[in-house]
Structure 1
Amino acid sequence: MQDWRGTLAETSDESVARPRGGAFRLLRRNRDFRVLWTARAVSVLGDSLGLVALLVHLQAEAGAAVAVALLLLAGDCVPGLFGPVAGLISDRFGLRRVMIACEVVQGLLVLAIAAALPPLPVLLVLVAARGIGATTFIAASRSAVPRMVDEDDLEAANSALGVGTYGLEALGPLIAAALFTLSGIRGVLLVDVATFAVSALVLARLPALGSALRAAAGDGAPSDGALADGAPPVGWYRELTAGFVHLRSIPTVRVIAAGFVGVVAFSGVDDVALVFLARDELGGSSSDAAILYAGVGIGLLFGYLLLGRVGGRWPALGLLLVGFVVSSAGNLVTGLAGSIAAAMVLQTLRGAGIAALDVGVNTHLQRIVPPAVLGQAFGTLYGAIGLAAGLSYALGGLLLAATDARITFVVAGAGGLLVSAAAAVALRRAARRPAT
């Protein structure tokens, strides 16, 4: 197991890492990682199908934008409140068991939604519960990666997961549109249920991935059991507190968390403002707006494919900062674009920046955070990101209503660049400080 002690001592060594093979080569040669990649890709495809089905259902039944907004908040922001607990679950129990349980629980929740198509309050509760399961699954799957691949292959592995996640997620709406004509809302939701079942069956092919906390306690048996056989129980609250204190003691983790949350708090509004920019300021159609949203997906896919081949030549923190800057600058310049074509190119570049950010964050945490609290690191960070996105939707929506889409994009981009500059200075200082 890689040495995580000395905090940032490894940071300077990242620059000498060299890619040992691209993402696709890693998928061909590493069976366990291929199993994890397949399960995640199938699960994400199902999530995308289910989200489209529920959005269409609410638009037809409730006919109010507030219902759609509440659905998105229930699926993204509410699970963020449970991020630390979700991460602790993946640390405390065997990762294979956690991931399979998450897929089964999510499948049962979606099955209940498909069977009843409940009223909005009940639907929001079920969607929030499914989101908590998804958050736990993602924390566990990210924690599993460094157990499956060598350290020099982490960039390629995270890039491959990005391709599987965002590539199939982009196909979800297209597949859902085709299924609507054949089976309706319930049929699409049942396909979502089937993807969770397939993912769980695929994950069952993984070897036992025992609890990281158990291994840290000195019991290295490859078990999917709880923390330690015969060990005195430790309260969840104490474990959460200890893990949080440990994460705060790592300088770069503190800076990454603050910088990532700050960038998302400014830039998350672009998901809301892009359609207004396309239709109002640029005089485009609904199809033109869809093209701009597609630009981000194309950039993500291209960025992950590129990083899967050459990402190991960059230090992870370098990728992170490049992602901060490019994604923020992309928003700022998009607000100044004079045509749909120009905005499309800029959003594509922004998507590539987001890919660099994602690979940089995941890779650095996998290298620097102790395995016993790695799940909690991912759960806490991405839970905070979900809350920051919700804040961005709310405050950015008010700015959009008071001004226009161009000003909203410029403010979002400028704010993101200021956070990026502050993060660059803070990371430079943090790299010289040991953990406390």
Structure 2
Amino acid sequence: MSLLRSNVAFRRYWSARLASYAGDQLARTALLIAVFDRHGGAGVALLLLASTAPRLLGPLLGALADRFDQRRLMVGCDTAQALLYLAVALLAPPLPVLLALVTAATAAATTFTPAGRSLLPRLVGPAHLPAANAQLATGVNIGFAAGPAVGGVLLATLGLTTTMLVNVATFVLSALLISGVRGLSAATPARRAEPFRRVLRDGLRVVRGHGVVRAISVGFLVMVSFAALDNLAIVPLGRTELNASEVTIGLLGTAYGVGMVLGPMCLARAGARIRMDLVLYGALVALGLGTLVTGLSPVIALAIAGQAAAGIGAGWHNVAADTLIQQSVPADRLGVVFGTVYMFPYAAEALAYVVGAPLLAAAGPRWVLVISGLGVLAALGLIAPLLTRALGLRVRMRLAPANG
């Protein structure tokens, strides 16, 4: 983790993401429990919709990162989320108002994400991008793994208001940390003067015409459409097929989260010595095989091992996808590109839930997990030729002037 020791700006950004992501997860868990207790399953469905729908505005919100100072934009997003969740904490609003506040907070988070991913190449330099993305994923996934447990404990012991105030504090801390990262905006004065419509159009043109971006986008859409079926089948598998207790079923989710931490941690040690396209292919193999092992396992211990392997694959995939885009796309187009690319997983997740619910009822959890694993492995056969061809063309284009 040498970048965290040697690069102050990266350390501040890494710490900010760890804090705010853990806050996101603990707040999400606490709100889901509180809304279910007060409004039942319908309320939970509406809350999940409110925390997902703004993600589909990724291209529009990502364009802000290409046009404005990214550091200030991220500080503004953190401040907005702090104020919105402060309103949730202090007002205890009725469900319609809560949904509106969560929707606005999700829109701010959706704006933050492409700005942060666009900023990273200037924080660490091109040579350190693989290690930086791996270290960043390690921190974010620690928040992903720990946040829900912390949220449940805080809600049970201190109540919803205090839990939301802890979330507010994480956003305030994140804003303070990022405010100290200066002089790194990719938006030149000329770029900031361009009409927003032109910035969005230029970015979407890159998404349509760039082979690497297209391959990763297709990969996200196909892979997540199958991988998200895992979320529907894990609890039924534990309950009906493996006779597992609540605690043991919880270990399945914990194993996945631990895998998402360990996978990027191993990549961070490898640094720039490893090819990111090979990491992406290995990620799909680990995710697919891990899901298959989970579905076919006769005992809970093997299912836990399968979920850990799947989590490692998911962690590798995020690191590889981010690094390949950052290495391939012009810096002043990264906002729209990242906003668009990361719209596809949310659309695919929604599709998986619509299709997966009747599939689970008809085929049972084991077959759903088998279909999920085989689908992820099949996605590798689709993505690998697209990405290999795109990377080969990029290398040839770079070498052509020298050879000429």
On the 8 A contact 1:213/1:373 being kept in 2, the answer is no
1:243 pairs with 2:203: yes
Question: Is the 1:247–1:369 Cα contact (8 Å) retained in structure 2?
Answer: no
Corresponding position: 1:214 with 2:188: yes
Deviation at 1:204, TM superposition (A): 1.2
1:202 corresponds to: 177
Greater fraction helix:
2
Name the structure 2 match of 1:397: 357
Q: Structure 1's 428 and 169: CA in aligned 2 closer, same or farther, altered over 3 A?
A: closer
Contact 1:296–1:349 under 8 Å retained in 2: yes
Residues matched between the structures, number = 395
Aligned to 1:9: none
Q: Structure 1 residue 182: deviation in Å?
A: 4.1
Report the more deviating stretch, 89-98 or 200-209.
200-209
1:304/1:238 CA distance change after superposition, 3 Å: same
- Contact between 2:213 and 2:341, CA under 8 Å: does it hold in 1? no
Q: Partners in 1 of 2:261 and 2:187 — Cα distance?
A: 35
Instruction: Give per-residue Cα distances to partners, 1:340-388, cap 9 Å, x unaligned.
Output: 1000001101111111111110111111010011111111111221121
What CA distance in whole angstroms lies between the structure 2 residues aligned with 1:265 and 1:389? 6
- Assess, with a 3 A threshold, how the Cα gap between structure 1 residues 412 and 182 changes in structure 2: closer, same or farther: closer
Note if contact 2:144-2:257 (Cα within 8 Å) is conserved in structure 1: no
Deviations 1:45-97 (A, max 9, x none): 11112111101111210122x32233223212x12221011211111111110
User: Which residue of 9, 32, 35 maps to 2:12?
Assistant: 35
CA contact (8 A) 1:83 1:384 kept: no
TM-score, scaled to structure 2: 0.94
Residue 274 of structure 2 is aligned with which of 302, 314, 324?
A: 314
Deviation, structure 1 residue 315 = 1.0
Equivalent residue number for residue 346 of structure 1:
306
Give CA deviations for 1:377-435 in whole Å, capped at 9, x if unaligned. 11111122112112112211221122210111111111121111111122222233358
TM-score (normalised: structure 1) = 0.87
Please give the alpha-carbon distance, in whole angstroms, between the structure 2 residues aligned to 1:70 and 1:393. Answer: 14
Alpha-carbon RMSD across the aligned residues, in angstroms, is 1.6
The amino acid of 1:188's aligned partner reads T
Q: Is the 8 A contact 2:12 2:181 kept in 1?
A: yes
CA contact (8 A) 2:34 2:160 kept: yes
Which secondary structure does the structure 2 equivalent of 1:380 belong to? helix
Moved more, 328-337 or 43-52: 328-337
TM alignment of 1:294-333, pairs within 5 A:
294-333=254-293
Distance in 2 between residues matched to 1:91 and 1:60, nearest whole Å: 42
Deviation at 1:305, TM superposition (A): 1.2
Deviation at 1:101, TM superposition (A): 0.3
Residue in structure 2 matching 1:282, options 217, 237, 242: 242
Find the aligned partners of 2:157 and 2:370 in 1 and give their Cα distance.
43
Determine the C-alpha separation between the residues in 2 that align with 1:350 and 1:143: 27
Q: Matched residues, percent identical?
A: 39
Tell me how far 1:256 sits from its aligned partner.
1.1
Give deviations 1:189-214, integer Å, cap 9, x for gaps: 0111111111111111111332x242
Unaligned runs of 5+ in 1: 1-23, 218-226
Paired amino acid for 2:246: S
After superposing on structure 2, the runs of 4+ consecutive aligned residues of structure 1 that deviate more than 4 Å are none
For the structure 1 residues 269 and 124, does the alpha-carbon distance in structure 2 shift closer, same or farther, using more than 3 Å as the test? farther
The Cα of 1:311 is off from its aligned counterpart by: 4.6
